[in-house]
A = this chain, B = another copy of it.
């Protein structure tokens, strides 16, 4: 394994310091326990939107802290849930009386630790709500679906609502709507390498790809042979559209997300095929995002997320945002 790191045990802390120094006007990085928070937090009368999860998926979540998106993010160790004390520290640094909304990816560890934090807050009388993101259709059992690319959309939508002064109930409502209208699925061309293990999480042959891969190197639903990207996109988009019951005339947002080691030129080719696929079915691509938004260390491959849009979700998506990784309108 070759990586641009100092040592396996300083990967997360070095990257956090790098983020802090690259974006001093947007985020503040706190250490021990680690969290990233907006420089202007806590914001009076504004609901705090907080997410977190294992590191190794950058820019998720730490790159989405800033005006119009997350108030704070809690980065765990690589592929490891943040601890309850991290979550609480981030919460105390960002929550006002308007309350706090946790955006939680559907992994057992994340759910457990955010729930412990919520119980503490409820005892303290802090208004708190949560939304679970479970958008990955690779697992046929809905309760076991992992949280992946839709998390970015949910964070954007909830953050926009909070910035507009929405109540906690209202922020939770739009976040849940965004989550229910989104589906994702991924394909890996190579496994990722966890720095502390120094070897790939699994092995794919020279011509093999894995459909339905998880963002921690979890097994997918099918191992197959590399094919023209139009064929791969057909398989991925079919799974999404069936599950979401997307129909002709529906407006959608498409996120083509690189997993870390896939080049921008490839991601634009994938997007082209997604656009062609949708156009052939009269599904309207009203908004799009193409790039590395949720990685899996050095995994090669991509995920595709489709969200059904309506006027409310479109307005929240288009609202100004100023974070290290997502920025427009300001």
Could you list which residues of chain A lie within 8 angstroms of chain B, going by C-beta atoms? 2-7, 11-12, 14-19, 21-23, 55-56, 58-59, 63, 187, 189-190, 206-207, 209, 226, 228-230, 232, 260-273, 275, 285, 288, 290-292, 295, 297-298, 300-302, 327-330
How many monomers of this protein are in the complex? 2
Q: Give the one of A63, A260, A266, A330 with max B CB within 10 A.
A: A266
B4 close to A269 (CB less than 8 A) = yes
Residue of B nearest to A192 (CB): B263
Provide the residues of chain B in CB contact with A14, threshold 8 Å.
229, 268-269, 272-273
CB of A74 to closest CB in B, whole Å: 16
Q: What are 19 contact pairs spanning A and B, CB under 8 A?
A: A4-B229, A4-B267, A4-B301, A6-B269, A11-B265, A14-B269, A15-B265, A16-B268, A18-B267, A18-B271, A18-B272, A21-B285, A21-B288, A22-B288, A23-B288, A261-B298, A262-B298, A264-B292, A329-B330
Provide the residues of chain B in CB contact with A273, threshold 8 Å.
6, 14, 18
Provide the residues of chain B in CB contact with A330, threshold 8 Å.
328-329
B226 close to A2 (CB less than 8 A) = yes
Q: Apart from A15-B269, A21-B272, what 19 extra A-B contacts exist at CB < 8 Å? A: A4-B189, A4-B229, A4-B301, A6-B229, A11-B269, A12-B265, A17-B275, A18-B290, A22-B268, A23-B288, A55-B265, A58-B265, A261-B263, A261-B300, A262-B298, A263-B298, A264-B295, A327-B327, A327-B328
> CA–CA, A63 to B19, complex, Å?
23
Provide the residues of chain B in CB contact with A6, threshold 8 Å.
228-230, 269, 273
B261 close to A18 (CB less than 8 A) = no
A232 close to B272 (CB less than 8 A) = no
CB of A70 to closest CB in B, whole Å: 16
Residue of B nearest to A206 (CB): B2
> CA–CA, A94 to B6, complex, Å?
47
Query: A18-B272, A18-B275, A232-B4 known; A58 and B295 CB under 8 Å?
Result: no
